[in-house]
Structure 1
């Protein structure tokens, strides 16, 4: 016996639209929350709407995740996501759109840097390989101090002094220039490390901050899979439904809530009856 769904496409589209409109007030509420002071991990990925390239931006906190659809990958979109005068701590990769965003402090993702250092260890230039190994050791030491603090083996004051030691170790590596100078790849990373000097070890000053941007990447992973499977959305509101639904699911995960139960409760309290399904 074959199973069939006798719903017309138009009826299903109306139902999807109803879901999107029901979720919209809640996602706007969460966006206001994300813009308040706190620790926020941010990232972005591409997404297509009817074949046109858009971007999905994400900001996460301990309890809320917001995915925002935008037409560009510019700093203006970061401002829409976090607000013009964000007072919290911002964790991100080194993409230039985050440079202009205001924040009390910033943390650059160590995992991104460590991946680049790992690739340098196979370079044909010995100076590249030695540079990568030395910087990796400094980053590993910083992570050890971070774990010791959270294991209650270091005080906050001790952790702050460890940051100074770690930064001094990194400076010594920069100054140990080979006779022929640093190869291009090592010099490129040195320039980046210097450009964001105050943003690599923020987690040793504010230990509630994580050294990586994994939370934002984890929140984007489902929408990346959806994009690969579906190819994107066919309408603006359809794309909004995708971002709102994944915002809802990730927020429920962060809060330890049952997503199905909470979604049913949300829809029942929305004050809007679902459209009839024509069969």
Structure 2
């Protein structure tokens, strides 16, 4: 989030292989997604678990999942075991993915779905609060953990989008708040242009 003249607003990051678009809006709701992508958007979205994305073809971010699981691993041996299993599953599902045939990706989807179900059964009744937090996170993300296996070129993480926000976050820490909407819009446009240049290999 950001602040404009003390008012809390949200910076949204829309990123592809070649383009970055940042927009600042007073809302965190799905209306912003519809405004930018259009209500008829039929592509895919890699995202965190925010409910504003529901209704589109989603891939839940594995980087977010593994960060949550890592915290759980610090609380108990069972949490450590679950974290290790998820790391291994992620490695198996994404290994040399660009070279995988459609048939191989389909096999991975079957194995991944079965393994995730087994992990939920195994750890679903754990008394550890940390493990239960991970289990709930996994359940809330179903059925969007393996969408990337159905769509060639789709990422399993939102890391690209996170990188697109880095400059904005650094600047927020420096300036604290933006003064007005005109400045905020100019700020978002500038970072969008600079971020797009970087994606094209340019040095802004």
Fold equivalence (TM over 0.5): yes
- The match for 2:14 is 59
User: Does 2:192 align with 1:237?
Assistant: no
1:121 alignment partner, one of 45, 68, 73: 73
**1:174 aligns to what?**
120
Give the aligned partner of residue 83 of structure 1: 38
Instruction: Decide whether the 8 Å contact of 2:71 with 2:130 is kept in 1.
Output: no
Distance (Å, rounded) in 2 between the aligned partners of 1:214 and 1:141: 19
Unaligned runs of 5+ in 2: none
Is the CA contact 1:49–1:234 (under 8 Å) kept in the aligned structure 2? yes
Q: Deviations over 1:190-235 (max 9, x none)?
A: 2332332221111222230111101111111111111111223211
Q: Which residue of 2 aligns with 1:130?
A: 81
Q: Deviations over 1:23-65 (max 9, x none)?
A: xxxxxxxxxxxxxxxxxxxxxxx11111221111110112221
**Greater RCO (Cα-Cα under 8 Å, separation 6 or more):** 2
Cα deviation 1:60-112 (Å, max 9, x = unaligned): 1122211111012222222222222221000011122222xx32x21111011
Distance 1:257-1:122 versus aligned 2 partners, 3 A rule: closer
Q: Could you tell me how far apart the structure 2 residues matched to 1:165 and 1:257 are?
A: 40
Seen in structure 2, the aligned counterparts of structure 1 residues 135 and 255 have a Cα distance that, compared at 3 Å, is closer
CA distance in 1, matches of 2:86, 2:35: 35
In 2, distance between residues paired with 1:248 and 1:96?
28
User: Is the CA contact (8 Å cut-off) linking 1:90 and 1:107 kept in structure 2?
Assistant: yes
In 2, the alpha carbon distance for the partners of 1:248 and 1:156 equals 35
Q: For this pair of structures, how many residues does the alignment match?
A: 204
Question: What SS does the aligned partner of 1:210 have?
Answer: coil
Note the C-alpha offset of 1:177: 4.8
Name the structure 2 match of 1:196.
141
1:127 Cα offset (Å): 2.7
- 1:110 is matched with 62
Q: How far has the Cα of 1:182 moved from its partner?
A: 4.3
Larger radius of gyration: 1
Q: Within 2, Cα distance between the matches of 1:227 and 1:175?
A: 43
Q: What is residue 214 of structure 1 aligned with on the other side?
A: 159
State whether residues 73 and 130 of structure 2, in contact with CA within 8 Å, keep that contact through their aligned partners in structure 1: no
Distance 1:139 1:253 in 2: 28
Counterpart CA distance in 1 for 2:126 and 2:73 is 18
Partner SS for 1:57: strand
Q: What's the CA shift for 1:257?
A: 4.5
What per-residue deviation string (whole Å, max 9, x for no partner) do you get for residues 151-204 of structure 1? x3x3221111111112111211222258x6443332232233233222111122
